[in-house]
Amino acid sequence: MTEIAHGAVVVLPGEAILSRWWRTVDKVVLGCLVTLFAIGILLGLAASVPLAERNGLPQFHYVERQLVFGILAFAVMLVASMLQPHVLRRLGVIAFGITLLAVMALPIAGTDFGKGATRWYSLGFASVQPSEFLKPCFVVVTAWLMAAAHEPNGPPGKSISACLTLVILGFLVTQPDFGQAMLTVIAWSSIYFVAGAPIAVLTGVVGAIALTGMVAYQNSEHFARRIDGFLNPEIDPRTQLGYATNAIREGGFFGTGVNEGRVKWTLPDAHTDFIIAVAAEEYGLIMVLFIVALFATITVRCLIRLTRERDMFIRLAGTGLTVLFAAQAFINLGVAVRLLPAKGMTLPFVSYGGSSLIAMGGLAGMLLCFTRTRPQNEMRDHLLGGRE
């Protein structure tokens, strides 16, 4: 019986790995990722220069570091995208255990770099934020557990994954890192939804999030200050949101011109959390819409390709990674235009940051792997449940 494939691509006997990868990978998504990184370097040339000058460093210090991080990120992405899904699953489970232990040890060996949140390990020449690497690994483990739950006599994967989620949330909230905690909940909920979650459970998740938010508002001055700032109809022009809002307004449709923006000289996180404000001011709404279109293209294409996938694990893991990628971009952009409360979160492949960029390289590599065009199981396997 003939095999069903995405399109007309089949596996050719004796074909080289690189040749097969290039023929089966989603080149549009790959091109969008490369374009996002190129835009990040372009914006970094403007946004990071003032920071380098304030810190007494060479003008393009941070751009050069971002190029190095980018090379590492794309190396990780290419290697991950060439692996077989079952190999990637095993590596993801191992990496999850390592990164979870790293997150748990942060209160003992971590540092806050004076920012009031212990999220990093200092290596002297660089820093590592383990929660960035934990997210994609958590998605792989969750997808594996939920897919296994659909097997005859399978483990209670949904319950186990829910317990893991609560453990991770507990450690993230105590850092505190409400942004990463929110992304974790969104990723888990999306996988659970695709796996067939009852509406009552999803409703309970929403209610638990709302209750947690109220508790955090009452007990965390940091969290309450950001919520109050968001709800305040008047924006303090001396805050990060005030600077970002003014920059977006000044940019208009076509922008003020290359290197003519002023926000990068006043906004502390212009090269990271608020990089889109630099793009809006110097290149205008056109650049912002182009960036949004790139993220939308990646998200939509990946989800469409995953709807054709019969392997339960690949479909769940791919969906979780896509939602995680899109949610982080949406939150970053939403904060900049004041649709969401301020939350320190990078724009994938665009913002400066070693841990974020390399972790996103791994996430993108997994996503490219899971969405590669590959022959599906034979029809008789599909009738038996699509298992290999």
Break the chain into its structural domains and give their ranges: 13-380
Better pLDDT: 354 or 301 = 301
Residue 362, pLDDT > 80, answer: yes
Residues 134-162, mean pLDDT to the nearest whole number: 92
Residue 367, pLDDT > 50, answer: yes
When mean pLDDT is compared across 69-83, 97-111, 257-271, 327-341, the lowest value belongs to 257-271
Question: Which residues partner with 122 through β-bridges?
Answer: 127
Residues 158-162, mean pLDDT to the nearest whole number: 91
Given pLDDT bands bounded at 50, 70 and 90, which one contains residue 381?
very low
Q: What are the phi and psi torsion angles at 10 (to 5°)? A: -130, 165
Better pLDDT: 111 or 344 = 111
- Cα–Cα distance between 119 and 173 in angstroms, integer? 11
CB 255 within 8 A of CB 287: yes
pTM over 0.75: yes
Most distant CA pair in the chain: distance in Å? 68
Q: pLDDT by residue (tens digit) across 253-289?
A: 888 887 777 777 777 777 888 889 889 999 999 999 9
Give the pLDDT score at 234: 66
Q: Is 310 helix (H, G, I), strand (E, B) or coil?
A: coil
Give the pLDDT score at 222: 64
Question: Which residues partner with 378 through β-bridges?
Answer: 3
Q: What is the percentage of the chain residues whose pLDDT exceeds 70?
A: 88
Better pLDDT: 329 or 207 = 329
CB 121 within 8 A of CB 109: yes
CB 151 within 8 A of CB 144: no
For residue 195 the two structure tokens come to 């796996």
Residue 3, pLDDT > 50, answer: no
Given pLDDT bands bounded at 50, 70 and 90, which one contains residue 382?
very low
Give the pLDDT score at 39: 95
- Cα–Cα distance between 293 and 299 in angstroms, integer? 10
CB 80 within 8 A of CB 365: yes
Give the pLDDT score at 6: 45
CB 172 within 8 A of CB 180: yes
Averaged pLDDT score across all residues of the chain: 84
Dihedral of the alpha carbons of 321, 325, 327, 330, in degrees to the nearest 10: -160
Given pLDDT bands bounded at 50, 70 and 90, which one contains residue 140?
very high
Give the pLDDT score at 13: 63
